[in-house]
């Protein structure tokens, strides 16, 4: 694997070892936390999935009911009711309020519908005939909106959560497979280098020690030999120096002696 | 998370619609419709004379408007601009495909539901295996 051989480009010192170790601790903690977050998000995600499927299926029924209510209203109040409705559009009374919900640090949008305008403007629609059916139809469509708004908030949560889970998992995997091995490799590298330095030092010290000892021994031997020679010459009655002088003095010209 | 779209928390947003006439009339009756000062509506009635270009423009406009939180789109209309609906991936406004009277609802075409089903079956299979 490419992540195995990688390590950070650092100077192998004890300080750096401490820094990298601290980073490894941080990475481990972050990994554990992110894993928890991912689990929490996944739980929420599955709940939303189940809800979406059931709501989508119920939406079909509700839309069918409301379409049927509209057909009833059209049948009773005449087909031209749609022109009345289309002409009377002014300001939306049914609006959507959005707020955010926080799940493990991920902001999920939630929609609530509000009906503020109170069915005032279409009140007279179908006054001549079919007013009740029109009101029923309105009720059916408001109910449909209720379901659709819920579905919309589920769906946006689904998309947002999907995205969040993907990024979280990517981070978890990155920490686990890239950052942590790299830090571990760095730590083992620094430790190896430090060990090697120590060994080198030790070896050098040993070597110097050995060298010094050998030097001393050599001097000792020399000194002993010299002592031996001197002792020999003393026994013969001639000092080493004297004999030397004697020998070296032979080359000089003797002073003339005048009787 | 730089690509995360901030979720606006406005007090009240609109529901936009792209659908056939009957569906629009029903929702207008419920009080969803809105016409602003410049006579711009938050809905588009799709009939036999509506071109795909018009639908595309309306879809693009509704998905970029600030005050719209949900876009309802009839499934047969969504099928006409399927590539646009599928490539849309922002959380707000939410795109909802709804069934219409003349066209029965087919869950297989719904872009979100197909993803949901896919994940759902994959996850249930995974949980069975465990």
pLDDT band at B1 (very low <50, low <70, confident <90, very high): very low
| Domain annotation covers residue B6 | no
| Domain annotation covers residue B107 | yes
Q: Which of B4, B14, B29 sits opposite A85 (nearest CB)?
A: B29
Can you give the pLDDT at residue A212?
Answer: 95
Chain A CB contacts of B7 below 8 Å: 98, 100, 107, 109, 160
**Searching chain A, which residue's CA lies closest to the CA of residue B25?**
A82
Task: Give residue-wise pLDDT tens across range A29-65.
Answer: 999 998 988 888 888 888 888 888 788 778 878 888 8
Distance (Å) from the alpha carbon of B50 to chain A's nearest alpha carbon: 17
Q: Which of B87, B79, B44 is nearest to B65 (CA)?
A: B44
Check if B84 contacts A (Cβ < 8 Å): no
Lowest mean pLDDT among A77-86, A93-102, A118-127, A221-230: A118-127
- Mark yes or no for CB contact B96/A96 under 8 Å: no
**pLDDT greater at residue B109 or residue A13:** A13
* ipTM entry: 0.75
Check if B99 contacts A (Cβ < 8 Å): yes
Residue B41 belongs to domain spanning: 14-128
Chain B CB contacts of A155 below 8 Å: 94-96, 112
In chain A, where are the structural domains located? Answer: 14-183
Measured distance CA(A133)–CA(B28) in Å, rounded: 15
Is the pTM value of this prediction over 0.90? no
Residue A116 has, within 13 A of its CA and on its CB side, a CA count of 13
Q: Residue B122 maps to which CATH number?
A: 3.40.50.10580
Classify the C-alpha dihedral B98-B103-B105-B107 as positive or negative.
negative
Task: Give residue-wise pLDDT tens across range B28-80.
Answer: 777 777 777 777 777 888 888 888 888 888 888 888 887 888 888 888 888 88
Chain B CB contacts of A59 below 8 Å: 98-99
| Domain annotation covers residue B7 | no
How many distinct structural domains can be found in chain B? 1
Look at the domain A14-183 and name its fold.
Answer: Helix Hairpins (1.10.287)
Can you give the pLDDT at residue B127?
Answer: 46
């Amino acid at each position: 694997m490419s992540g195995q051989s990688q390590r950070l480009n650092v100077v192998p010192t004890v300080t750096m070892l401490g820094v990298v170790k601290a980073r490894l601790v941080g990475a481990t903690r972050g990994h554990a936390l992110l894993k928890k977050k991912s689990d929490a998000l996944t739980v929420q995600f599955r709940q939303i999935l189940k809800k979406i499927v059931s709501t989508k299926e119920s939406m079909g029924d509700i839309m069918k009911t409301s379409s049927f209510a509209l057909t009833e209203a059209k049948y009773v109040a005449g087909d031209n009711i749609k022109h009345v409705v289309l002409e009377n559009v002014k300001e939306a009374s049914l609006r959507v309020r959005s707020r955010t919900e926080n799940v493990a640090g991920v902001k999920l949008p939630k929609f609530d519908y509000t009906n503020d305008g109170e069915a005032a403007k279409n009140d007279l629609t179908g006054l001549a005939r079919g007013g009740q059916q029109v009101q029923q139809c309105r009720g059916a469509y408001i109910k449909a909106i209720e379901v659709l708004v819920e579905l919309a908030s589920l769906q946006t949560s689904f998309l947002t959560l999907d995205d969040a889970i993907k990024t979280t998992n990517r981070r978890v995997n990155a920490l686990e497979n890239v950052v942590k091995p790299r830090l571990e490799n760095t730590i083992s590298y620094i430790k190896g280098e430090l060990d090697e330095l120590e060994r080198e030092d030790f070896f050098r010290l040993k070597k110097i020690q050995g060298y010094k000892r050998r030097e001393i021994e050599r001097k000792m031997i020399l000194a002993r030999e010299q002592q031996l020679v001197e002792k020999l010459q003393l026994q013969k009655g001639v000092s080493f120096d004297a004999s030397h002088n004697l020998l070296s003095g032979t080359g000089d010209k003797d002073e003339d002696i005048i009787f | 998370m730089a690509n995360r779209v901030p979720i606006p928390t406005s007090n009240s947003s609109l529901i936009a619609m792209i659908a056939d006439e009957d569906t629009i009339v029903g929702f207008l009756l419920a009080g969803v419709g809105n016409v602003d000062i410049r006579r711009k509506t938050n809905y588009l009635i799709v009939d036999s004379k509506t071109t795909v270009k018009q639908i595309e423009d309306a879809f693009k406009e509704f998905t970029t408007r600030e005050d719209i939180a949900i876009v309802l789109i009839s499934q047969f209309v969504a099928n006409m601009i399927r590539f646009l609906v599928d490539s849309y991936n922002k959380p707000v406004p939410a795109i909802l495909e709804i069934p219409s009277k003349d066209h029965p609802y087919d869950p297989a075409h719904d872009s979100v539901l197909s993803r949901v089903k896919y994940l759902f079956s994959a996850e249930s299979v995974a949980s069975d295996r465990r």
